[in-house]
Amino acid sequence: MLFSSISFIYFFLPIMLIGYFITPRKYKNLTLLLGSLAFYFAGEPKYTVLLIISTLVDYTHSKIIVKHRGTKKARRALISSIVINLTMLVIFKYSDFMIVNFNTLFNTDLALLHLDLPIGISFFTFQTMSYTIDVYRNEADVQDSIIGLGTYVALFPQLIAGPIVRYKTIAEELNSRVHSFDNFSYGIGRFVIGLSKKVLIANSLGELAEMIYFTKEVSVLFYWISAVAYALQIYYDFSGYSDMAIGLGRIFGFHFLENFNYPYISRSISEFWRRWHISLGNWFRDYVYIPLGGNRVSTIKWFRNILIVWFLTGFWHGASWNFILWGILYGTVLILEKFVLMKYLDKHRIISHIYVVMFTVLAFVIFRNDSLLEVINHLKSMFGLKDIPLSTSESIYYLKSYGMIFIIGIFGATPLLKQFIIKLKTHQVIHKIMNGLEPFVYIGLLLIITGYLVDSSFNPFLYFRF
């Protein structure tokens, strides 16, 4: 079930809200758990059992860790939990990839499993692992209630496409959270903003990005239009989902951490990854990079640690060599920045912004195309190394037709609008007027979005595939 669907907005969510808020406080987690399982079951009936298994695995293992803290038995319980979670992830996400590469390497003919990828498995396995690891490190208290832990694992606002919510972030709220009109109104507003980013901006940019695969009049300009449109699409698609997740979480009394912070205003790739998919970057930092030694090791081992983290970051996104290449490329550039580029980037603000945007757009070409041959052809076409014209009448037509959405997309990817609104709200009268108009703005946006959804085709979130 998609957040950006009529069935979710006008059927599931209202029923969930009514059921949740009429439930006595001590049973609210149970209501939320059952609703979350129903939400997942609507999209993945046969794989709902994986959620339940994951919950049971980490519930029992965390109990063993606490009971035998400081002993080898606790460490074995931790390793067992990690192995079980990673085994589920590997089987369902990477088995065919490994079989294909094994067949290629050893000239065998092993049959592929053709398993469907369970939606959100990359997110909820990372969440459950972080819980058990934090309990082992004594950084989080064990959850005594299986209902409480199940609510954390299956919590529908962030279940299928993040952000990756750490248990210790919402541990207190699982047991005792505040429900208020302020939380509810903020949550609704944040949800509508995220929904607008997805439906009104990301979907339109996605249509433009896909045109390159259907046109017969390819050109250098058209390839650049497609690449830039995709880079903006994936930002609005994923940050829009994160906004909706954060908004929905707030409605139910949970405070999820931010997952995006205007990454396209960055002046280095290092800064970009402090602003993009923050929850994933923090996960790999805390559970892979630092345990490997971080930067408190020799230079060679430091390089190794960075490349391992970025290999895993790329591989996390998908079972394909283009994702691995994409991750290693980022790792290599981050190393170059730390030792060579930063002293130049710090001195030249405009050049550093151009560098980040250009690199990110080109990197997303690698990220987007499954075949390395497609990646090479796309990049060669962008730089005029193929026998195609610089522009065509069709590329000019699409640039003009989507010009406004491009402008909105670029402007909206900066904090300028947010800063302008904050500045307006410093004036007391304007603040009151804006507060009065705000509900009507959200209602208007929701009506426009509804019209788009009724008239549009199925368009899932890009990160569902990861």
Check residue 462 and give its pLDDT. 60
Q: Residue 311, class by beta-carbon neighbours within 10 Å (0-12 exposed, 13-18 middle, 19+ buried)?
A: middle
The two structure tokens encoding residue 42: 């609507």
> What pLDDT, on a 0 to 100 scale, did the predictor assign at position 3?
87
Phi-psi region of 369 (alpha: psi -120 to 50; beta: other; left: phi over 0): beta
Q: Which one of the listed residues 68, 317, 353, 431 is annotated catalytic?
A: 317
Residue 435 pLDDT? 85
pTM of the complete model: 0.93
In angstroms, how far is CA 346 from the centroid of its own chain?
Answer: 29
**The pLDDT of residue 325:** 95
Contact (CB, 8 A) for 367 and 322 = yes
Condensed to tens digits (0 to 9), the pLDDT of residues 382-426 reads 999 998 999 999 999 999 999 999 999 999 999 998 888 888 888
Residue ranges in the chain whose pLDDT is less than 50: none
Q: What pLDDT score does 11 carry?
A: 94
Question: For residue 59, what are the contacts with CB-CB under 8 A and spacing of at least 6?
Answer: 143, 146, 149, 150
DSSP SS3 for 141: coil
One-letter identity of residue 168 = K
pLDDT for 454 equals 86
Q: How does pLDDT run across 191-245, given as a tens digit for each residue?
A: 999 999 999 999 999 999 998 888 888 899 999 999 999 999 999 999 999 999 9
Residue 390 three-state SS: coil
Active site residue 427: no
**Per-residue confidence (pLDDT) for residue 376, from 0 to 100:** 92
Given this model, what pLDDT does residue 22 score? Answer: 96
Domain residue extents for the chain: 6-177, 183-267+383-465
Q: What span, in angstroms and rounded, lies between the C-alpha atoms of 43 and 34? A: 15
